[in-house]
Amino acid sequence: MQKKAKKISHDHIGCTCFIIPEKVLKKFSHDKDLSDQERKFFADAAKFESEWRKGRDMRTELALTAQKILPSGLQGLPLLPPTITLFDCQQHNTLPGVAISSPQTSADPTCTRAFNYTTAVANFYQTVFGRHSIDDAGMAMISSIHYSVNYNNAFWNGGQMTYGDGDGNIFIDFTKGNDVIAHELTHGVTQYTLGLNYANESGGLNESISDVFGTMFRQWEANQDFTTADWLIGSDIMGPGATLRGFTCLRDMAAPGAKHCLSPQPNHYSKYKPGMDPHESSGIPNFAFYTAAKTLGGNSWLTAGKIWYQAVAGFGTSPNMTMKQFANRTRSVAKSLFTGQKSVISAIDSAWKSVGL
């Protein structure tokens, strides 16, 4: 008798990889200080997130399956820099949109920003960590701009980036945040490394890894050390309506629960609850990274960043990894990468202990 095929659940595979949490979108969809049209923009964006997630989750599973069972690459051939392509949705919602032939010389600043920042993210991963594009095999980096009308988000859908223009009040053009672009592209890196599920602790780790590498990229581009970096996530996409309400960023890695954060977070594991939105629980490992970088000083990507990257990319998939497991992995990596450097090993250990891990 033929065996019945095992049903695979896609509920939590991959990640709901958008920069603005659904909770924030819903909050503004009920904000009486906004016009009916503005509230509708937020309501529509919130409804859309759960729908495109289904297709993205299947892409993620397919990519991970291919990695496990199919051969890849021709031996001896050098990996070239990834091809970076741009498409213009022209306010429509069909991806990828119309191809842009020379994005680096476009008269559209949204196009040139998306191209230049994507190129810079690829250079960041190559220069600092020796990684060849998102999949470490030279994967083409595809982006679509001007998605839909006044779309209040940016997302990685499992195969490409998509940017909305924002409503112009609460949020502005999402390509203006270089940390936003690096955050979303890092979801792709996590997809091809740890393959973290987007639920519970692994979901929080998923979001945190994107924040960590997003802020590292922002600091790397500006050549900032610990003392000159502001550790804010999404500060460059805050519109005038957000700043009037006292919001200067989406998140603050140095002060996750601060009032100036549009999406505040806990900073200690004792405040974690199962089922918590990954955009919230990510504050716990975020604060651990910030604390480690503060103790180590200098440039965040040189020591703490290399430890985090090795913990992400050096061990294969681990879809249900807990925060404690990730913390212990960084402790182990610190000892192997910085053998005999007690100050580094101690900084990583103390940082995790400071958040209850």
CB distance 308 to 296 below 8 Å: no
CB distance 216 to 209 below 8 Å: no
CATH for 200-354 is: 1.10.390.10
**Amino acid type, 202:** S
What's the rounded mean pLDDT across residues 107-131? 98
Catalytic residue at 279? yes
Give the burial class of 228: count Cβ atoms within 10 A of its Cβ; 0-12 exposed, 13-18 middle, 19 or more buried.
exposed
Catalytic residue at 61? no
Where are the chain's structural domains? 200-354
46 falls in which pLDDT band (50, 70, 90)? confident
299 falls in which pLDDT band (50, 70, 90)? very high
Per-state percent for the chain, helix, strand, coil, to nearest 5: 50, 10, 45
Distance between CA atoms of 77 and 17, rounded to whole angstroms? 33
3-state SS string over 237-258? Answer: HECHHHHHCCCCECEECCCCCC
What's the rounded mean pLDDT across residues 172-180? 97
Active-site residue, selected from the candidate residues 184, 201, 207, 280: 184
Q: What is residue 40's predicted lDDT score, i.e. its pLDDT?
A: 87
Q: Residue 97 in 3-state DSSP?
A: coil
pLDDT in tens, 139-154: 999 999 999 999 999 9
Active-site residue, selected from the candidate residues 38, 207, 279, 280: 279
Phi/psi of residue 86, each to 5°?
Answer: -120, 145
Eight-class DSSP state of 18:
B
For the chain, the average pLDDT equals 90
Question: Which two tokens mark 175?
Answer: 């390509």
The strands making up 154-156's β-sheet, listed across from edge to edge, are 98-99, 84-88, 141-145, 161-163, 154-156
pLDDT at 12 over 50: no
Distance between CA atoms of 357 and 352, rounded to whole angstroms? 5
What's the rounded mean pLDDT across residues 280-296? 98
pLDDT at 9 over 50: no
pLDDT in tens, 54-95: 555 666 666 667 666 766 665 666 778 899 999 999 999 999
Range with lowest mean pLDDT among 54-63, 94-103, 225-234, 276-285: 54-63
Q: Give the max Cα distance, the chain.
A: 68
Give the burial class of 101: count Cβ atoms within 10 A of its Cβ; 0-12 exposed, 13-18 middle, 19 or more buried.
exposed
Please, how many CA atoms are within 13 Å of residue 168, restricted to the half-sphere of its CB?
6
Q: What is residue 60's predicted lDDT score, i.e. its pLDDT?
A: 64
What's the rounded mean pLDDT across residues 175-204? 95
